[in-house]
Amino acid sequence: MTGLSWISKCVIAAFCVAPCTVTMNLLIKNFSMKAEAAVVYHFIGIGLGTLAAIWKFDIIPMSSVAPSIPLLVSGLTGATLAAAANTLLFQSLPQATNPGIPMTIVNTHGMLSFLLAGLCASIAPKYFEGVRFDVWHLVGVVLVITGIALFAIKR
């Protein structure tokens, strides 16, 4: 896994996430599973699976998983923002006409992260790399916003 390019890793991740979304929707809608319970077990599985992969494939030294300030900050953002985001996402899956719609809307976080990274780079350049923003990036942002609006209007 470590020898793959970042683009290859992203493509493989997309193919791994899609079945998870469909499976969660199936379980929540058809087996009376509560979305909040699904989130808990889903992320327990992610944590255990990631830890097993780190150990089995020697991706990083296990000492890198020992608590530190940066890892605790990561845990705090996971326990607050990511927990809220994923709980809301899992609750929205069975309510949507297609489980791909909530995922599509939530996955615009990439565009939001891109814009936030640019803002952070201008405020704290010591900690954030500069972000190149040109007319094509602006077109991409406009297309994403237009796509979200079309989903919202057609629901």
pLDDT in tens, 75-118: 999 999 999 999 999 999 999 888 888 888 888 888 888 888 88
pLDDT on residue 41: 94
* Tokens matching residue 118: 């640019």
Instruction: Name which of 6, 17, 63, 75 is nearest 42 in CA terms.
Output: 17
Residues 6+ apart with CB under 8 A from 27: 33, 38
pLDDT on residue 155: 57
pLDDT on residue 151: 74
Distance (Å, rounded) from C-alpha 66 to C-alpha 72? 10
* Tokens matching residue 50: 């990631």
Note down pLDDT in tens along the chain; length 155 residues.
Answer: 668 898 899 889 889 988 998 898 899 989 989 999 999 999 999 999 999 998 888 888 988 989 999 999 999 999 999 999 999 999 999 998 888 888 888 888 888 888 888 888 889 888 888 778 789 988 988 898 888 888 777 65
pLDDT on residue 1: 64
